[in-house]
Structure 1
């Protein structure tokens, strides 16, 4: 029989240190496990913190990238708008220049056509009045788009008279045949005298050279409008007496040149400039 709580000892007796060894081993294993578990937790926590930091940095980078993208898009939009505006301005300028070029070409064509008509009119008058031009009784000139016909008084009027002579009617008939075909031109007829006053015989009818010069211009205008077929709306009559001489009144030849009828063909102008045209005609 063995005492209670004892067992037979096969090895010669119990080992009292064994439980303590087991306990120590358990404690050591638990400590190792705890240590390893804490290390894993620490590593995981570190990784989590780093991951959160990386995520925060990624979010910040995303926000920064988005802002940069928006800024770039806005800048590109502004540049595109500026380029569109510049292209639009260039297109407007191109259209304006194209329009101006077309207008210039049209103006040149119209000018060429006008010069051709003027040349034809000049040559026609020259042909119709060849004999009088050759004799020096008529002077024909052309300048600055105008044609001027100067007729000495003796081929139209008797001395000191304002009524047209038979020869005057015949000369004006030939001239009127050309003037009647002229378009887009005003025809200014002005009477001029020398500085000698009308004779005593004519003083009652023409007290001064003003009345004589005006009467002669009016009679020429009436003949051209009533007998030669020139549109009256194109005709203007004026008298200048002896205020616009073209030669000296000191010689008979000069006085003869000053006694004249001037017929000036001037291009029609807009209503606002008609006064300028008349002033230009009166200044001759």
Structure 2
């Protein structure tokens, strides 16, 4: 645009000179030089203008891109802030839950330590009681051995002790006549030795067990005792009743009949049968 204006000015000046205006040749040349200088300046300015315009477009594009990037960054920032807020809530909730769980676990540990201490004391007390019980049983065992050494030496009585269970095993011939359940006078004397020791025992249950061999009851005796069950039961009950009559607490007494079904020896010999016909007086811990 500027170039066209300059050309028009130049043409106008030349027309004036040709139309008769008197201008000196030097003055004319000077004007021509000025016009050329103006053309050069104009060309330079046009180039600068074009370069600035191009740079301006680039800058506008950069500003637009940066504006979009800024908007996206602000959006990301807002989203990140929202996410952080939600994350803070989640972390706080988890922290509160963990703190509560830790507190509960600590309380459980405290409770367990208290319970363990209680159980430890209880176990110690039970051990002590067990030791005292064993000592009492051992003392009773020793007393019975001393009291009944004559019957023991004759094989009429055996006494055993195992894990707090004391058993006085008496062959039936010591207490009963053959086929009878009534205690004979000699048997009462032997029983009294046992009673003298048992009557001082208050913390044990006393179980009287009746046993027989496997010979079946027959003849007139079968009218009274149909089987060995009845005979062993009658003998056990009579011994139990006598212990009660002699002052032993009936709450600590029980009578059991096993008949022929709990032998301690084979029933294929006279000696084996004799061992199986027996009364056992057993001391066991109270339930």
Q: TM-score, normalised by structure 2?
A: 0.63
Task: Report the secondary structure of 2:221's partner residue.
Answer: coil
CA positional deviation for 1:198: 3.1
Q: Which has the larger radius of gyration?
A: 2
CA positional deviation for 1:88: 2.5
- Counterpart position of 1:102: 121
- Given the alignment, which residue of 241, 244, 256 partners 2:262? 244
Give the Cα–Cα distance (whole angstroms) in 2 for the partners of residues 130 and 161 of structure 1.
Answer: 26
The structure that is helix-richer by fraction is 2
> CA 1:83/1:177 → structure 2, altered by over 3 Å: closer, same or farther?
same
Give the Cα–Cα distance (whole angstroms) in 1 for the partners of residues 174 and 273 of structure 2.
Answer: 15
Asked if structure 2 preserves the Cα contact closer than 8 Å seen for 1:160 and 1:199, the reply is no
Root-mean-square deviation (Å): 2.6
- Counterpart position of 1:141: 160
- Counterpart position of 2:223: 204
- Counterpart position of 1:180: 199
> CA 1:83/1:216 → structure 2, altered by over 3 Å: closer, same or farther?
closer
* Alignment of structure 1 residues 43-122 onto 2, 5 Å: 84-122=103-141
> CA 1:155/1:90 → structure 2, altered by over 3 Å: closer, same or farther?
same
- Counterpart position of 2:142: 123
- Counterpart position of 1:151: 170
Give the Cα–Cα distance (whole angstroms) in 1 for the partners of residues 219 and 166 of structure 2.
Answer: 37
- Counterpart position of 2:64: none
- Given the alignment, which residue of 264, 267, 276 partners 2:285? 267
Could you report, residue by residue, the CA deviation over 1:103-154 in whole angstroms, capped at 9, with x for unpaired residues? Answer: 1111111111111111111112111111111221111111132111110011
- Counterpart position of 1:232: 250
How many residues end up aligned between the 2 structures?
Answer: 204
CA positional deviation for 1:256: 0.6
Q: TM-score, normalised by structure 1?
A: 0.64
Find runs of 4+ consecutive structure 1 residues off by over 3 angstroms.
70-87
Give the Cα–Cα distance (whole angstroms) in 2 for the partners of residues 203 and 115 of structure 1.
Answer: 44
Structure 2: gaps (5+ residues): 1-84
> CA 1:82/1:131 → structure 2, altered by over 3 Å: closer, same or farther?
same
Structure 1: gaps (5+ residues): 1-66, 270-284
- Counterpart position of 1:279: none
- Counterpart position of 1:257: 275
Asked if structure 2 preserves the Cα contact closer than 8 Å seen for 1:188 and 1:237, the reply is yes
Give the Cα–Cα distance (whole angstroms) in 2 for the partners of residues 74 and 207 of structure 1.
Answer: 82
Asked if structure 2 preserves the Cα contact closer than 8 Å seen for 1:156 and 1:167, the reply is yes
> CA 1:206/1:88 → structure 2, altered by over 3 Å: closer, same or farther?
closer
